[in-house]
Amino acid sequence: MPEKTSSIAGENQLAVGPQDNGDATSSEKLPEEENLLIQDNKINLTSEQSDARGEDNDKKKIEDDDYKALLQDRGWAWFVVLGCFLSHVITGGFERSDGVLFLQFTEKFQESAQLTAWPGALCSSVRLLAGPIATAVSNRFSVRTSVMAGTFIFALGVAVSGLAPSVPYLFFTYGFLQGFGRGLVYAPGVVVVGMYFNRHRGLSTGLGTAGVGLGTFLFPPMVEMLFEQFGFSGAFLMLSGIALHLCIVAALFRPLFIHRSIVIGDRKKKSVAKDLDDLGEERAFVASKEGSLDLPKSTKKDASSITIELSLDSSDHDFQDGGSSAEKFQESPRLRSRSRIKNCCKSVISSCFPVEEQKMDKKKQKLIEWSLLKNPPFLFYCFSICLFTAAFKSAFTFLPALAASSGISKIEAAYLLSISGIVDTIGRVLAGFILDMPRIKPFRPLAYNGIIFVIVVLSFLSPLMNHFTGFAVLFGLYGMMTGAYVSQKSVVIVDILGQEKLTSSFGLLICFQGIGTAIGPPLSGLLRDIYGSFKEAFFMGGAAMAAAGGLMIVSNIYRIVMQHRLKAAMKSTKEHADDN
């Protein structure tokens, strides 16, 4: 028992410190009430420390939420929308020019409609089938890396297509190379907008993808004029140079991990700059450079710590030059020049192809989540968009040919695509604005489903037109509805699966689109070869879209039933918890 008392007394000395009178009574046995008081003080101290740690964790969580608020729906996020818009101007312009290119391929190679339709169909299919690969590249490296690599492959495929001696040669150059490059550009551009936006996701996606409409308005007449002015090979060479402008788009697609680092670093720098102003700019500068200013020790320490912190923050965004200042001073001019060139090259490569460092404690992210196909609403949505894309791609491939068969000139047929494209832009923006309204947002997948059946009616009416005005009005409406449908597909994915599954699910979805584009145009070309006209192809497209609308209805029914079951289960769990 005395040993225990002595131990408590020793703890008391550590806890409350030495007594003021300096005698040895602290080692004697203390009253029981005082021992309890000491223990209570220790418990209170431990509790206060725990509360302090909890407050630190809460503060860190608040800061993380604050940084998230800084990242989304503001600032650089709108430059990302601009990059998505420009990306869709170029890729969408090429895509919607397939009808003009179909006529050029037919005139040059004199092959059947089915065979001539294959290069464009294969290009679109590869573009969409490359969605999972683009997703994997974006997850493993970054969105900018995927877009930058895709740009060079895209431009190469366009350039060598001008040297094609036959249609099968175009299968590889125009179909595979160009399609794969487009695929690495297309999917990340849509996904990155969804990552940067939360409250205005529908509107931002509509604005970003509205570039397809502008591209459809500009490219078909431009492509037709390029072939008239520069011939077959020269036109493809010019188009290759246009494709290289996607490098600008890649620069605008700042990866989220880099943007977060920049935002945090800027906020720290502003805080440090404020502290430097408090110390006095001139005195702090001299103290940091010479270290010999006649300041109080505490002031010197504060100034030096601020300067060190500022330099450390700056190093987060700068590249390491390697070596100390003394070593650099001793280097010869030639070695310093080589070092600068080497570091400059590293900086350019790291900026163009950034890679996110994987943290040790961070769960490894799956490159492709095939398990998402086990979700019935998403699976039926994938089947629906596969059939829709088969008909949609056929319509834009054979619209100029359908118009030409009615006696309309080539340039007027190209103008029809332009009219469709400019109205497409309006449809995308309006769809994003309307479907983001609070009263409509909960029913967005149902409204999305209704758009399909409007397009079905327009598809059946297309073969009945026989003059330019009728085609212009009809395909203006067709462009508006298809633009509204296509622009919101990533938003509907979020409604079905949630934002955290957007990257992987979008890659799988456009993979199904790729299957549709591989089937649609060749099958429509086969019908043209059999029946001698393009009307049957448009009737078949209307039937395929009707089936797509039916599958989307099934997807919505599954989604609503699953939501009701989830709400019922949560309500039952809550009632059970209240009873206990």
Q: Is residue 203 part of a domain?
A: yes
CB atoms within 10 A of CB 577: 8
CA dist 423 and 439 (Å) reads 25
Question: Can you read off the two tokens belonging to residue 205?
Answer: 């996606």
List all residues 6 or more positions away from 566 whose beta carbon is below 8 Å from its beta carbon: none
Do the domain assignments include residue 365? no
Are 106 and 227 in the same domain? yes
| 250 and 379 assigned to the same domain | no
- Position 83 in a domain: yes
In-domain check, residue 512: yes
Identify the CA nearest to 197 among candidates 79, 114, 309, 88: 79
Half-sphere exposure of 304 (CA within 13 A, CB side): 12
Measure the CA–CA gap between 38 and 18, rounded to whole angstroms.
14
Does any domain span residue 323? no
Burial degree of 563 (CB within 10 A; 0-12, 13-18, 19+): exposed
Among the three residues 230, 259, 288, which one is the final residue of a domain in this structure? 259
Distance CA 367, CA 130 (A): 13
- Does residue 464 lie in a domain region? yes
Structural domain includes residue 496:
yes
Threshold 0.85, pTM exceeds: no
How would residue 347 be classed by pLDDT, with cut points 50, 70 and 90?
low
Cα separation of 283 and 270, whole Å?
Answer: 19
CATH code where residue 207 lies:
1.20.1250.20
Comparison of pLDDT for 157 and 204, the residue scoring more: 157
At residue 301, the pLDDT reads: 44
Residues 214, 78 share a domain: yes
* pLDDT the model gives residue 383: 93
245 exposed, middle or buried (CB, 10 Å; 0-12, 13-18, 19+)?
A: middle
Residue ending a domain, among 259, 286, 307, is: 259
Q: Are residues 377 and 254 in the same domain?
A: no
251 with 142: CB under 8 angstroms?
no
Domain boundary pick from 209, 230, 259? 259
User: Phi-psi region for residue 532, left (φ > 0), alpha (ψ -120 to 50) or beta?
Assistant: left
Q: Is 253 helix (H, G, I), strand (E, B) or coil?
A: coil
Domain span holding position 432? 372-563
CA angle in degrees (0–180, nearest 5) for 87-117-181: 30
Mean pLDDT for the stretch of residues 507-525:
84
- The pLDDT of residue 279 is 61
- Predicted confidence at residue 234, as pLDDT, reads 93
| CA 170 and chain centroid, separation | 30
Asked whether residue 46 is domain-assigned, the answer is no
CB half-sphere exposure, 139, CA atoms < 13 A: 21
Burial of 166 (0-12, 13-18, 19+ CB in 10 A): exposed
**60-96: per-residue pLDDT in tens?**
443 444 545 555 666 788 888 899 999 999 998 898 8
User: What confidence tens digit (pLDDT) does each residue in 243-301 have?
Assistant: 999 999 988 888 777 767 776 776 777 776 666 666 655 555 555 555 544 444 444 44
Residue 252 and residue 379 in one domain: no
Judge whether 249 and 185 are in contact, CB under 8 Å.
yes
Higher pLDDT, 44 or 83: 83
Number of domains in the chain: 2
Burial of 571 (0-12, 13-18, 19+ CB in 10 A): exposed
